Amino acid sequence: MATRRTTVTTAIGALSLCLSAALAAEPTAEMLAGTCAGCHGGGGNSQGPAAPTIAAMDPLVFVDAMEAFKSDETYSTIMGRIARGYSTKDFEKMAEHFHQLEYTPAPQSYDTALVDQGAKLHDKYCEKCHAEGGKPLKDEEDYNILAGQWLPYLQYAMSDFREDRREMEKKMRRKLEEMLEREGEAGLDALYAFYASQQ
């Protein structure tokens, strides 16, 4: 009887240690990224027009964006609350996870008559920072994906920049002001069409 009790006690102790180790294990990148799937898609490719695709996103840009949401430096409706639940180490894990995923442009309609003009405006005002039409550049650093993002997301993001809800770098502000002075709002519409056309 004593031997049986000892065996049971030992088994319970071993099981407790295993459970404690499992609970103490750090979450994997996939576990952390699971929260993102609801808005940004299971593979980081957004299924809805208001959220950007984050597959193939530059890791530095990802971490900077999440830190800015966490500190409320960047305006958000939901991202600030979500970001506050994670550490910088968590952001870095998620960033590497999404960087490895394949980017799929959003299948959407756009004004085909504006695409050529948008391509020319991109080359003139945006190409130096958003190379190759704003496509993901996995071998480069510090890039933002514009090509193939949902059209409404691009419009919302630009509105946030123009209303100072998101920080705009000096060079971007200067180029945007130049473009708007020469082309007006129609220039932005052409740029949106160009980015949406890259499918």
**Alpha-carbon distance 64 to 66, whole Å?**
6
Binding residue positions for heme c: 36, 39-40, 79, 126, 129-130, 172
Residue 91, helix vs strand vs coil: helix
Residue 85 confidence (pLDDT): 96
Contact present, 181 and 188 (Cβ < 8 Å): no
Q: What is the mean pLDDT of each run of 10 residues along the chain (199 residues)?
A: 55 50 73 93 92 96 97 94 97 97 96 98 96 86 91 96 94 97 98 96
Binding residue positions: 36, 39-40, 79, 126, 129-130, 172
**Alpha-carbon distance 54 to 46, whole Å?**
8
Contact present, 149 and 55 (Cβ < 8 Å): no
DSSP string, 131-150: HHHH---TTSSS----TT--
Give the residue among 143, 144, 153 at the shortest CA–CA distance from 192: 153
Residue 137 confidence (pLDDT): 85
How many other CB atoms are there within 10 angstroms of residue 148's CB atom? Answer: 22
Token pair of 148 as six digits = 């193939």
Residue 52 confidence (pLDDT): 96
Question: What type of residue is 188?
Answer: L
**Residue 19, H or E segment:** helix 2-24
How many other CB atoms are there within 10 angstroms of residue 195's CB atom? Answer: 27
All domains of the chain, ordered by start, with CATH?
A: 27-104 (1.10.760.10), 105-198 (1.10.760.10)
